[in-house]
Amino acid sequence: MGRGLVWIVLALAILWSAASAEMGLDKLPGAAPRLGEFLGRMMPPDLSVWREVLQGLAETLRIAILGTFFAVLLSAGLAVLAAETLVPAAVWRPVRGLLAMIRSIPLILVAMLMVGAVGLGPLPGILAITFHATGMLAKFYAEAIDNVAAAPVAALESAGASRTQQLRWAIWPQMAPVILRDTVFRFELNLRESLILGVVGAGGIGLYVQTYVRSFQYDKAATVTMAIVVLVLASEAVNSALHKRFS
């Protein structure tokens, strides 16, 4: 019975979505040739805009680097407050809840709000990346803290090592590789996600996508798209190489 119900709900959901004139489904038959025509207008890509494209990519890279940098700083502090092994549940539970909430807000939404708050340009992009990335990174760092084996730390404490010495010689050696891996991983995500920030005016290459599409210069938009694909593939290659080293 349960299974039949699932199918019925599914069918109803699809019918409900399609049964509205606003979805424009009546235009669907004509869409394929139009898409073809559109793609035709992207060809051949106009490579003369390479300067703008490089500038946009550089800005995106800067946004990702600075956003990651500030997120690392924030996460280091918040991770301590989110670590089950360091602070009472009355502290880490709400902090983790807050981080989960931050993670749940899509980056593009954060970016729009930041643009509203501080105006157009790369700054809102950096702030948005910082905010968004901290939700994940602080949680990862907190888990790295919680996964530190307690016995070696207790051994140093028993031998009379100070708290900072325990941190340096028992806790940090266990955490460092994990932290490094998580940070690199998050940087790659930041880079990918910051590619679209420009669409809402928060800096980077996305601005050119926006501009060229709005002004019907599809051949230039094609160049930008290709550049983005290359960047994503390159960052993926770098990341998988690093993953091999850290595993």
Return residues touching another protein (CB under 8 A).
Answer: 149, 151-152, 154-162, 164-165, 168-170, 173-174, 177
Q: How far is the CB of 139 from another protein (least distance, A)?
A: 23
Q: How far is the CB of 87 from another protein (least distance, A)?
A: 19
Q: Which is nearer to another protein, 138 or 153 (CB)?
A: 153
Q: How far is the CB of 238 from another protein (least distance, A)?
A: 24
Q: Which is nearer to another protein, 176 or 234 (CB)?
A: 176
Q: Which is nearer to another protein, 29 or 160 (CB)?
A: 160
Q: How far is the CB of 180 from another protein (least distance, A)?
A: 12
Q: Which is nearer to another protein, 48 or 85 (CB)?
A: 85
Quick check: 208 and 139 in contact, CB under 8 A?
no
Q: Which is nearer to another protein, 38 or 169 (CB)?
A: 169
Q: How far is the CB of 178 from another protein (least distance, A)?
A: 11
User: How many CA within 13 A on the CB side of residue 143?
Assistant: 12
DSSP conformation letters of the chain: -HHHHHHHHHHHHHHHHHT-GGG-GGGHHHHHHHHHHHHHHHPSP-GGGHHHHHHHHHHHHHHHHHHHHHHHHHHHHHHHHH-TTTS-HHHHHHHHHHHHHHHHS-HHHHHHHHHHHH-SSHHHHHHHHHHHHHHHHHHHHHHHHHTS-HHHHHHHHHTT--HHHHIIIIIHHHHHHHHHHHHHHHHHHHHHHHTTGGGGTSSSTHHHHHHHHHTT-HHHHHHHHHHHHHHHHHHHHHHHHHHHHH-
Among candidate residues 68, 60, 59, the one with its CA nearest the CA of residue 194: 60
Query: What does the alpha-carbon distance between residue 226 and residue 242 come to, in Å, rounded to a whole number?
Result: 25
Q: Which is nearer to another protein, 156 or 191 (CB)?
A: 156
Q: How far is the CB of 146 from another protein (least distance, A)?
A: 17
Q: Which is nearer to another protein, 108 or 148 (CB)?
A: 148
Q: How far is the CB of 154 from another protein (least distance, A)?
A: 7
